[in-house]
Structure 1
Amino acid sequence: MRSLIIAVDFDGTVVEDAYPRIGKPQLFAFETLKALKQERHRLILWTCRKGERLKEAVEFCQKNGVEFYAVNSNFPDEPLTTEDSPKIVADIYIDDRNLGGFPGWEKVWKKLKPNDGLPEDERSKGLLQRIFG
């Protein structure tokens, strides 16, 4: 699979929605994000949070082992002004506000890696079994 740019929402996607607080991590969120980074995909944190709330979200992700390529922008350190479009250009958008809602990280992983390069007998295992053996 080619390297993808993946925009990831925070509240309701990486963590349970508890805004303005930070909710509990969604099941398999950080494991999936780490695996996607390991496969050299560019992850962009794409959230409505700003200011101190945004800083808290970024730090929470870092404490859980995920550093994003960029935050609310297409490139690291890209300056944002009122004239800039807040639209992030990505190949995939992972967000709880998708039509049908957020399917969960195991389904996200299966969608991105349908066969996961695994032998037939391994394909039926869930994400947790694959990550932790």
Structure 2
Amino acid sequence: MVIAVDFDGTIVEHRYPHIGKEIPFAIATLKKLQAEHHLLILWSVREGELLEEAVDFCRKRGLEFYAVNANHPDEQVKDDMATPCRKPKADLFIDDRNVGGMPDWGAVYEMIHNRWSYERYIDEVHRGEMPEKMSFWKRVFGRG
């Protein structure tokens, strides 16, 4: 799948124009999704130097995006990282501004990995009850 991922409030705490602290397991989950051959697009309101800072933040943590604010790497303007593409074509968007908010990264991984809707996630993992916060690592890697 092609997955567009927001930066502020999704990968890091929302402190725009500054970069907030990494949201637990965001980078690890995205790297795991890449290892499963998903293409990740960084989709952010950031432009120019602020966008470069976000890309560098992720790169220093070993996360490289397929494209940045674009559908394909060739669409990007390399000098200032600005592009006319404001909404990339993606199969899925991960954004803290979703209706109902952003599930934790463990839930995001399980839904993408299993190709479940949120409703199916609730049914499969929590037997129809709203989930309690559970450790990402326990949910994703704890099943033997």
Normalised TM-score (structure 1): 0.81
Q: How high is the sequence identity, in percent, across the aligned residues? A: 52
CA separation in 1, counterparts of 2:85 and 2:39? 20
Gaps of 5+ in 1: 116-122
Partner amino acid for 1:72? N
CA separation in 1, counterparts of 2:84 and 2:53? 24
How many residue pairs were aligned? 121
Partner amino acid for 1:99? V
Deviation at 1:78, TM superposition (A): 0.4
Corresponding residue SS for 2:30: helix
CA separation in 2, counterparts of 1:87 and 1:30? 22
Higher-RCO chain (CA-CA 8 Å, sequence separation at least 6): 1
Answer yes or no: is the 8 Å Cα contact 1:7–1:44 preserved in 2. Answer: yes
Partner amino acid for 1:48? V
Question: Over residues 38-60 of structure 1, what are the superposed CA-to-partner deviations in whole Å (9 max), with x where a residue is unaligned?
Answer: 01100000000001100000000
Q: What is the root-mean-square deviation in Å for CA atoms of aligned residues? A: 2.5
Answer yes or no: is the 8 Å Cα contact 1:14–1:26 preserved in 2. Answer: yes
- Change in 2 beyond 3 A, CA 1:72/1:31: same
Deviation at 1:77, TM superposition (A): 2.8
2:57 alignment partner, one of 38, 60, 69 = 60
Gaps of 5+ in 2: 78-82, 116-124, 127-133
Counterpart mapping for 1:1-133 below 5 A: 4-79=1-76, 84-114=84-114, 126-129=135-138, 130=141
Deviation at 1:85, TM superposition (A): 4.4
Answer yes or no: is the 8 Å Cα contact 1:5–1:43 preserved in 2. Answer: yes
Deviation at 1:114, TM superposition (A): 3.7
Deviation at 1:128, TM superposition (A): 1.3
